[in-house]
Amino acid sequence: MRSRVSGRQIAEHALRSASIGVLGLMLWQSLDDGVATSAVSARSGRLADALPEWTTISVAPELIAIRLDSAPTPRERDWLAALRGAGSDVRWSGNVAASAIAVQPVVSPKGGLVVMVAAPDNAVVELSDELGVIDSVRAAGEGAGFTVPVADGVLTARVGGTASRAALADSVTIRRLLVIGDAGWESKFVVAALEEDGWKVDADIRVAPGIGVSQGATASIDSSRYAAVIVLDASGAARSRQIAAYARSGGGVILAGRAASADEFAELRAGATGSEATGSAMQTSAGPTTLRTLSLVPIVNLKPDALALDRRAALVAAAARRHSAGRVMQHGYADTWRWRMSGGGNSVSEHRQWWTSAVASVAYAPRIVLPRVDETDAAPLAALTAALGPATASESASGGDGERVLSMWWLFGLLSVSLIGEWASRRLRGVR
Amino acid sequence: MVSEFVFCTGRYESGDWDSAPTVPANLIDSVARYTGIDVAPSGASISLSSEKILDYPLVYLTGHLPFRFTEAERRNVRTLVDRGGMIFIDDHNHDIGGVFHKTAMEEIGRTFAPLRDLPNDHALYSCFFRFDDGPPATSHELNGWGDNLVHRNLQVVMRGSRIGVLYSSKDYSSEWNYHPDNKRFSAVDNTRFGVNIIVYALTR
């Protein structure tokens, strides 16, 4: 009987000792939170709360591991970079969409913005400004492009959970255009299309040798006056030296249709001109005239520095090259007026839009820097990589806040069981 | 394909659209004679009810008889003018009391808008040859034929800053309706104003 009581007392001692030991362990752990944390981790959703904790503990964590399913905000990213600068080894892992946004002004009197978003193939890209969602598209290839007539403030492109933000950094000064051509429907309707789109157009239209119909002061071709010069046919050859000098000084030149055939434009053009292919030769179907059914003077023997912009089957329809500081676009579409007059219901606006886009692609437009907007983050993944290095294969910190909380619960349970067991044993044998 | 100007006479169903058959050849001759415009040696006569008319942004219409468009004709000429083309209509009767003039006024008003006088200092009168007094008078006006009036102005329907419809009561169709070879008998070529109409249409 004595041995039984003695064994029970030993057990009670053991339970009491265990309770004291657990209490001691819990006390050590709670003190250790402020003294000796070596590795911490968090996921995207907890990052905002975790950063102040990691920053305010007395000794900086040796390792900070974060697992991201979206890019951190610039504030969070900078905070992590600061922790890294303070000596912590900051690592990140996860699947952050590789997206970026760029905003450019459209060189057009109507203004507008071109927004280009880099995004993974087939990802949904949602574009919004400070007033709300503007549009959403599915990325094809390496991203998506938007033309936005007007936007308010910072533009945001969301791809998955990642938001890229950018604002227009500069605006452009729009100057006049000069159209040079023979009297004919092409001259008339190119001038009309550009004027309808808001361009101020000077025209030098040759009606007879030595006789022209001029609109505006066309004597001097200078980049201080003109954003671009459009040469519609060989009538511009007489001014080819002026036009080449204008291009060298930064001006934009379009050599349209048969204009590039003139030898005087050999220096400027993107390539030589081939034999004209008519609509029937292109095996186009009957019906309203479109850009694709127009006669084409193909560009052949492209210069090494020329870039093909548009092709029709195997033929190069449009190409561009730099000429010193200027840009030259050569296209082989002849008689685009037929598209406007004989095309479908929207042919007038399509013809107008096509011409203004062509002009915008070469136009000389001095930039005016706009006030800087700070709340931008044009390429979050690139910025994250620059700040913290590339992603690691996986979250490398083990344990972490969650596991510590869990172990405290286990210790508390063990403490409770020990104390209740020891107390119950004593009461059952009649000892207080 | 050579991009050349083709003079187009519009065929309409209601009247005698071909009442001045040598006007096209005469004007083509003048354009070739005085300008460097690449002009086709022969004109074309195209039905206004055919969408083919849209390939000809300048259309000449004349006649003596009632002038009415069918629905298809009305739709096509309206499209042509809205897209930047120009229609030149000349009253071959030279008579503002005549049936052509009266019906043409109604039809133009119905299809486009009411006509209004074109100022005589408009670019039409100076874009190639200069006509300081506005539209040149025709021999029919000076001889007192038709309505016995010398019409001081041409009339127009504007589209923006350009002429969409040009209407003449001066009977240029009679004035210019002769073989081009006979110009050598004239001290002053009376088709010069026709050249201005074509140059204006091609450049404005």
Q: What is the DSSP string of A157-213?
A: EEETTEEEEE---EEE---EEEEEEESSHHHHHHHHHHHHTT--EEEEEEEETTEEE
Residue A206 belongs to some domain of the structure: yes
Q: Do residues A259 and A199 share a domain?
A: yes
Q: Give CA–CA dist B89/B136, Å, rounded.
A: 16
In sequence order, which ranges of A235-369 are alpha helices (DSSP H)?
240-248, 337-342, 347-362
Q: Do residues A228 and A360 share a domain?
A: yes
Who among B38, B84, B128 is closest to A184 (CB)? B38
Residue A388 belongs to some domain of the structure: no
State the residue range of the domain holding A54: 2-93+400-428
Inspect the interface and report whether the beta carbons of B203 and A183 lie closer than 8 Å.
yes
Min Cα–Cα distance to chain A from B141, Å: 31
Instruction: List CB contacts (< 8 A) between B1 and chain A.
Output: 276, 278, 295, 334-335
pLDDT band at A397 (very low <50, low <70, confident <90, very high): very low
Three-class DSSP category at A234: helix
Q: For residue A208, which phi and psi values (nearest 5 degrees)?
A: -150, 165
Q: Give CA–CA dist B168/B125, Å, rounded.
A: 14
Instruction: List CB contacts (< 8 A) between B124 and chain A.
Output: none
Of the CA atoms within 13 Å of residue B130, those in its CB half-sphere come to: 1
Q: Do residues A63 and A190 share a domain?
A: no
Residue whose C-alpha is closest to residue B138's, from B85, B174, B88: B174
How many interface pairs between A and B have CB atoms less than 8 angstroms apart? 79
Residue A283 belongs to some domain of the structure: yes
Q: Do residues A158 and A197 share a domain?
A: no
Inspect the interface and report whether the beta carbons of A188 and B128 lie closer than 8 Å.
no
Q: What is the pTM of this model?
A: 0.78
Do A229 and A244 meet the contact criterion of CB atoms below 8 Å apart? no
Reported as type and span, the H/E element at residue A312 is strand A307-312
CA A119 to the chain's CA centroid:
8
DSSP at B63: E
Q: Do residues A304 and A333 share a domain?
A: yes
In sequence order, which ranges of chain B are alpha helices (DSSP H)?
23-34, 71-82, 99-111, 139-142, 172-175, 192-203
Who among B57, B85, B199 is closest to A207 (CB)? B199
- Looking up residue A374, the CATH number of its domain turns out to be 2.60.40
Residue of B nearest to A343 (CA): B54
Q: Do residues A188 and A291 share a domain?
A: yes
Whether A398 has a pLDDT exceeding 50, the answer reads no
Q: Do residues A319 and A182 share a domain?
A: yes
Three-class DSSP category at A239: helix
- Span A102-125, mean pLDDT? 91
Q: Do residues A161 and A298 share a domain?
A: no
Q: Give CA–CA dist B37/B6, Å, rounded.
A: 11
Residue whose C-alpha is closest to residue A293's, from A347, A252, A242: A347
pLDDT digits (tens, 9 = 90+) for B153-186: 999 999 999 999 999 999 999 999 999 999 888 8
- Span B82-106, mean pLDDT? 96
Residue A324 belongs to some domain of the structure: yes
Min Cα–Cα distance to chain A from B94, Å: 31
Residue type at B5? F
Min Cα–Cα distance to chain B from A360, Å: 23
Q: Give CA–CA dist B46/B55, Å, rounded.
A: 10
* CA dist A58 → A12, A61, A77, B17 (Å): 40, 9, 22, 100
Task: Tell me the pLDDT of chain B averaged across its residues.
Answer: 95
Inspect the interface and report whether the beta carbons of A182 and B36 lie closer than 8 Å.
yes
Inspect the interface and report whether the beta carbons of B3 and A185 lie closer than 8 Å.
yes
Residue A383 belongs to some domain of the structure: no
Whether A391 has a pLDDT exceeding 50, the answer reads yes
Do A418 and A16 meet the contact criterion of CB atoms below 8 Å apart? yes
**Angle formed by the axes of helices A401-428 and A2-33, to 10°?**
160
3-state secondary structure string across A25-74: HHHHHHHHHCCCCCEEEEEHHHHHHHHHHHHHCCCCCCEEEEEECCCCCH
Inspect the interface and report whether the beta carbons of B127 and A209 lie closer than 8 Å.
no
DSSP symbols for A251-280: -EEEEETTGGGSGGGTTT-SSEE---B-TT
pLDDT digits (tens, 9 = 90+) for A307-366: 999 999 899 999 999 999 999 999 999 999 999 999 999 999 999 999 999 999 999 988
Residue A386 belongs to some domain of the structure: no
> Quick one: pLDDT at residue A355?
96
Q: Give CA–CA dist A43/A397, Å, rounded.
A: 12
Q: Do residues A195 and A271 share a domain?
A: yes
Q: Do residues A52 and A109 share a domain?
A: no
Domain count across chain A? 3
Q: Do residues A195 and A234 share a domain?
A: yes
Residue of A nearest to B51 (CA): A342
Min Cα–Cα distance to chain A from B59, Å: 13
pLDDT band at B1 (very low <50, low <70, confident <90, very high): very low
Q: Do residues A105 and A78 share a domain?
A: no
Instruction: List CB contacts (< 8 A) between B80 and chain A.
Output: 341
Do A8 and A429 meet the contact criterion of CB atoms below 8 Å apart? yes
Q: Give CA–CA dist A323/A260, Å, rounded.
A: 15
Inspect the interface and report whether the beta carbons of B57 and A185 lie closer than 8 Å.
yes
> Quick one: pLDDT at residue A281?
41
pLDDT digits (tens, 9 = 90+) for A248-260: 999 999 999 999 9
Q: Give CA–CA dist A203/A226, Å, rounded.
A: 12
Instruction: List CB contacts (< 8 A) between A341 and chain B.
Output: 54-55, 57, 80, 83-85
Residues of A with CB under 8 A from a CB of B: 182-189, 192, 203, 205-209, 211, 213, 257, 276, 278, 295, 334-335, 337-338, 340-342, 347-348
CA torsion, ordered A323, A327, A331, A336, to nearest 10 deg: -140
Q: Give CA–CA dist A120/A117, Å, rounded.
A: 10
pLDDT digits (tens, 9 = 90+) for A196-231: 999 999 999 999 988 888 888 888 999 999 999 999
Whether B29 has a pLDDT exceeding 90, the answer reads yes
pLDDT band at A286 (very low <50, low <70, confident <90, very high): low
* CA dist A273 → A230, A270, A290, A303, B4 (Å): 17, 9, 22, 12, 20
